[in-house]
Amino acid sequence: MSLFRLDASIRTEGSVSRAIADIDEESWRQDNPDEVVTRRDIGLDPVPATSWPLSVFADRSNLDSLSPEQKDAVDLATTLSDELFAAHALLFAVPLYNFGVSQHFKAWVDLAMTDPRLGESLKGRPAVLVAVRGGAYGAGTPREGWDHASGWMRRILEDVWGLDLRVVETEFTLVGVNPALDQFKEVAAEMREESERVAVQHGRHLAGALTH
């Protein structure tokens, strides 16, 4: 079972989403020692925001009509969706930025979706979303309802693309970084430990080893 892995963190040093996704990947690797991992790092190498409008209106039934810029955008969209089609399992690691979806993840999704082949073709594939947030947004917290990323990401991955999705959530990653959050050190450590445990389990899901 080959794996596609996408990273959206804009940093490498200290990145929690990358560290949790590494655990998922290692767990998947146990059953797939010789399989290929296709990596797309949109945090460090984003898809150009200009590609989406060029690709979305390109007439794919008449490739000769496309400008060179449109052709490049269509080619990139095709590459992105080919990477998804080629993998048996999909791993996405995406942080919360400014209470919303990472712009790089949104640009990548938008462009991939301009490929008309995407439709139903990913339905049922095992997938994991590693969602990390600096703060905490659970029920009863002062910022309940401020996480505007997770709901949208689940909609796309689970409902639109039909992936068999599991989500690993890690909150309070800014504890230890932002002194105002020092009082939450213990709870943050517990959350991290729990998400590392869940990541191992979800890696097994990626490997097709879990049935529910």
Q: Which residue is nearest to ligand FMN (CB)?
A: 134
- Please state, in angstroms and rounded to a whole number, the distance separating the CA atoms of residues 115 and 113: 5
Please, what is the minimum distance in Å from the beta carbon of residue 129 to ligand FMN? Answer: 13
- Please state, in angstroms and rounded to a whole number, the distance separating the CA atoms of residues 205 and 139: 27
- Based on the shown chain and the rule CB under 6 A, indicate whether residue 126 belongs to the binding site for ligand FMN: no
Window 1-20: contact mask with ligand FMN (x via CB under 6 A): --------x-x---xxxx--
Q: Of residues 16-55, which lie at the interface with ligand FMN (CB under 6 A)?
A: 16-18
- Please state, in angstroms and rounded to a whole number, the distance separating the CA atoms of residues 78 and 116: 9
Window 131-150: contact mask with ligand FMN (x via CB under 6 A): -xxxx---------------
Please, what is the minimum distance in Å from the beta carbon of residue 115 to ligand FMN? Answer: 27
Q: DSSP alpha helices (H): ranges in 2-113?
A: 16-31, 51-56, 68-86, 103-112
Please, what is the minimum distance in Å from the beta carbon of residue 184 to ligand FMN? Answer: 12
- Please state, in angstroms and rounded to a whole number, the distance separating the CA atoms of residues 108 and 80: 8
Residue pair 117/77 in contact (Cβ under 8 Å)? The answer is no
How many residues of this chain interact with ligand FMN, rule: CB under 6 A?
17
From residue 188, alpha-carbon distances to 24, 88, 98, 177 in Å are 20, 33, 20, 12
Considering the complex, state which of residue 77 and residue 199 has its C-beta at the smaller distance from ligand FMN: 199
Q: Which residues pair with 93 in a beta bridge?
A: 7, 130
Considering the complex, state which of residue 39 and residue 117 has its C-beta at the smaller distance from ligand FMN: 39
Window 63-102: contact mask with ligand FMN (x via CB under 6 A): --------------------------------xxxxx---
- Please state, in angstroms and rounded to a whole number, the distance separating the CA atoms of residues 72 and 212: 41
Binding residues (CB under 6 A) for ligand FMN: these are 9, 11, 15-18, 95-99, 132-135, 173-174
